[in-house]
Amino acid sequence: MILLVGPPGSGKSTFCEQVILQNLAFDKPIIYVTTEYDPSKAEASLREKGLSRIEPGLLNFVDAYNETVGVSVPDRLDTVHADCNDLSSIDIGISRLSEQVGQRNILLVFDSLTSPYLFNGKDILRFMTQTLTRFAARGNSVLACMDEGCGNEEDLGSMMSLSNGLLKMEVKEERSILHVLKHPKVERTIIEIPTEKIWKERALDVKLWDSDKVGRSIDALRSGSFTGDMGRFAVNLFWLNFMQWSGMLWDPKRFPIMIYEIWKQYGIITSELLSSLPWHTKLLLKLYFRLPQELSEPKDVKKFVKFFGRLFGEKGRRDFIMEYLGDVSKTDEYKIRVYENVECWGFKNIGTTIASMFPPVIAGGIQGFDRQKRNWNAIETKCIGLGDPYCEWKVVPGEIDGLQDFLVKDVSVLEKIHDRLMNQLMEFLLEEQPLIETRPRLGNDYFMGMGNLAVIAGGERYLMALRMGAAKAGKEVGENLMNAGLGEDESIKRVLRFLEHCKVGKVTIDKTIRIKENIESVWTKAYTTEKWEEPICYFTTGFLNGFFLSVKNQHVIETKCIAMGDPYCEWEFR
């Protein structure tokens, strides 16, 4: 049994694929356990790397991803389904396929142990002993991956000690380095191997947005007329932070970097989109927002900040209140003070900076207006999370010192944030305490708007972290309610009340779960020209699936979605 460890994005999955291809070339049967992606995508990636036609029965999959996050997929003859919440289901899946293959000398590739570990904690050690080690002892071999930086270092050390071999991967200057630290047949050595870009960015295409719809939405937002049965189309800021930090805990190295890049791109696109709006909307922006024509001097940036301040402030989205610090700003180094930031509110004295969306939005917005098209960046230098009474951002063109430290948080800090959110939620569910202290001037609504398109642009890794983080959060909520002595019906009743309190949508439950005006999909339909071919309620589905699995031992699958043209979003029980 060989354990392959390394940070997310170091090339572990690519290494596994190369091992699979090498072994298939010698007709060695493979059992491929996928916990972070769909088997069909794994097979497509193998074909891109050279997989040709293979004999039936040589390549088989344990799909421990789709059931975990509540995604419905067609049955495949070469695939059995399992759930990362339930290690015994993965064990059963491996045993079934092993019996089906009917021979020894099978290679089991497990990519990765990170997901089941984050769901089950130290139970993964028993799973490794009782399932993986036992499988290897029967004349087979195992290659299992584990992310560094995700969870307790002592647990990772225990995993290493349980393995016959240990390989460690790291990335240096866009190269993957493989360290053979322990192996039954190979001496300690270092090998340099090809790698791929850590994250393939999916561009936010301005053509995807319907300019007429956007223009009408801006008018409606300004007048306050964009409403539905749930009131003004906005979600409680607790739900925003619950989403974001659940995904952050799942992939602490890459998720914050992806958020930064996505929202920076969103700022750029927002600026570019202004040029394609109807003439009357452009006139509105010029007269109402006093939009600057270029950004070459501090006084021009002041106009830009005033524009964004009105767009995001009390008379617009109500995300935060901005103040341009002209007395300490200078050319190519601008300071902005922010009050009641939707991202940071509720995290007082948590011990770290919090904002990861709106600083890059401002940097991207400035970049979109900058005639020189320089690469702008922003970091938070003061924050409510650090105990400051307000937040401050520094925005500069080019590289900015401290960006990596600003984005990537230590796992212990992420766990502290997660615990605070979970404690607030359980106090609301069990004791009817307020979810979060109300912001004095802005209230607690977060206007999703075009920002939901940033989720769509996140790419597969981003969506995996969002889905898995949601499933883990839902499972934890269900377990906490059951441990508190609530029955199934009462637990469900309180969670549905929580969803409506957060204005996720108007929720009803019978034989299915229906959410009318679901905030996760309604804005995507409102702004885009495209009709989506599959449901896009990634976080809601993952949360519901994790919750109902822990409370009723049932999975839920989204079968209808507003973004697909349906009148509501609907989930069926499986």
pLDDT classification of 221: cutoffs 50, 70, 90: very low
Instruction: For residue range 422-470, list pLDDT tens digits in order.
Output: 999 999 999 999 999 999 999 998 876 554 555 555 667 788 888 999 9
Q: Is the pLDDT of residue 385 over 50?
A: yes
Q: Which CATH class is domain 2-193?
A: alpha beta
Average pLDDT on 34-62 reads 90
Supply the DSSP string of 133-159, one letter for each residue: IHHHHTT-EEEEEEETTSS-HHHHHHH
**Mean pLDDT (whole number) for 337-357:** 94
Give residue limits of the domains in the chain: 2-193, 209-230+419-434+447-574, 253-408
Question: What is the domain class of 209-230+419-434+447-574 according to CATH?
Answer: alpha beta
At 209, is the pLDDT very low, low, confident or very high (cuts 50, 70, 90)?
very low
Cα 425-429-431 angle, rounded to 5 deg = 105
209-230+419-434+447-574 and 253-408 agree in CATH topology = yes
Q: Is the pLDDT of residue 223 over 50?
A: no
CA gap 51, 377 in Å, rounded: 41
- Band of the pLDDT at 282, cuts 50, 70, 90? low
Handedness of CA 542, 544, 546, 549 (dihedral sign): negative
Average pLDDT over residues 103-120: 93
Predicted confidence (pLDDT) per residue in 126-154, tens digit: 999 999 999 999 999 999 999 988 888 89
Confidence label for 263 from pLDDT (cuts 50, 70 and 90): confident
Residue 182 has pLDDT above 70, yes or no: yes
Q: What is the pLDDT of residue 478?
A: 96
Residue 103's CB is within 10 A of a number of other CB atoms, namely: 10
Q: According to the model, what pLDDT value does residue 112 have?
A: 93
Dist. CA 225–CA 235, nearest whole Å: 16
Q: Is the pLDDT of residue 100 over 60?
A: yes
Q: What is the biggest distance separating any 2 CA atoms in the chain, rounded to whole angstroms? A: 76
User: Could you report the per-residue pLDDT of 504-549, keeping only the tens digit for each?
Assistant: 999 999 999 999 988 888 766 666 556 678 888 999 999 999 999 9
pTM of the model: 0.83
- The burial class, CB within 10 Å (0-12 / 13-18 / 19+), for 375 is middle
- What number does CATH give the domain 253-408? 3.30.1380
With CA atoms as reference, report the closest residue to 501 among 452, 567, 444: 444
pLDDT of residue 174: 66
pLDDT of residue 190: 92
CA atoms lying within 13 Å on the CB side of residue 31: 31
What residues pair up with 61 in beta bridges, in sequence order? Answer: 32, 79
Query: Please, which pLDDT band fits residue 353 given cuts at 50, 70 and 90?
Result: very high
For residue 512 the two structure tokens come to 């299915």
DSSP 3-state percent helix, strand, coil across the chain (nearest 5): 45, 20, 35
